[in-house]
Structure 1
């Protein structure tokens, strides 16, 4: 049984590697079931057995590619300034898109309402971690959800815009300007609780709420609802 499981894992890795090579060389259209099975040295039914369908294979390729990208960026550690960390994360996203256009397009090029591909979910979680640290520092003046959506929308838009241009025409300062405009729209120069009004305090408290272990789950949920109402009203 163990040998069968190991063989299945080896087949899965071989198929993903073959599909990733085809994607890089010829784009999504090159990743046909026939081409992948030939490149991986497996029968086509094995692809369906392991991944369900072609979309399942493409999702696995994108997730694998993005995971490897993050592993190569282990030096991107949180610093003392979460806003600067977000700037670094933005640059990471743009570099990933330009270095891996086919993979980036696979992640974001064909939105599926109601279904988030694994790689896109991992990328959003990565972004959300940056936003959450800004909120914990009291420097976010919109909700974490609103901030993450805005950064994601403008960041992916900037990436696709640059990807569509010939390399010699790409102007990365446009991406930098978009980044700085978004950051200015969602953050404050000083911790939000220092400014008058309850919204900044509500955002910061909401970010720290998971650490309030003295409260029951029900009490945290109720307080979180109240804080969210304060943020939205602001």
Structure 2
């Protein structure tokens, strides 16, 4: 896999230009972008920069993170607070994401999505009001393990860290086996449309579009 050096700002602009050009001319549907990567990678920052670049092009955007769709603590911690298998497959409420985010953005949907569902700090429902993303708008969803659930992304971006960089920059070392499992079972670098090497966050590199 060949990488080309790029800045985060240029990357966001390139992705926004691609997404904007891919949108249907009649504006009658929605596009979905996934920014996949471990917490040690700047996925939330890239997602926010991409959202800003899309809005500058006149595209309505709904920006969301999987950290707003975690399961209650009683379910996340059923096998302990540091179980990598539970972290990998049981922390995120993927059913809620399908129901409350992706479902309303299917053809003929309402566009009425839920910004978030659960606050892990209080371990209570957020009770956030629904928001409506107009047709022609773009969903930008960021978080880890996004590419293993068949989410209908029109563009999937994977932020890749080498095992050494991931181990060095991960604040919760007990999660590392989960990311090793993800590499083996999903092969996110082979699945994504765009791969960004983020070993050194100051000097990203990417594969380009249409690889």
TM-score normalised by the chain length of structure 1? 0.24
Question: Which of these two proteins has the greater Rg computed from alpha carbons?
Answer: 1
Q: Normalising to structure 2: TM-score of the pair?
A: 0.26
Please state which structure has a larger fraction of its residues in strand: 2
Relative contact order, higher structure (CA 8 A, sep 6+): 2
Task: Please identify which structure carries the higher helix content.
Answer: 1
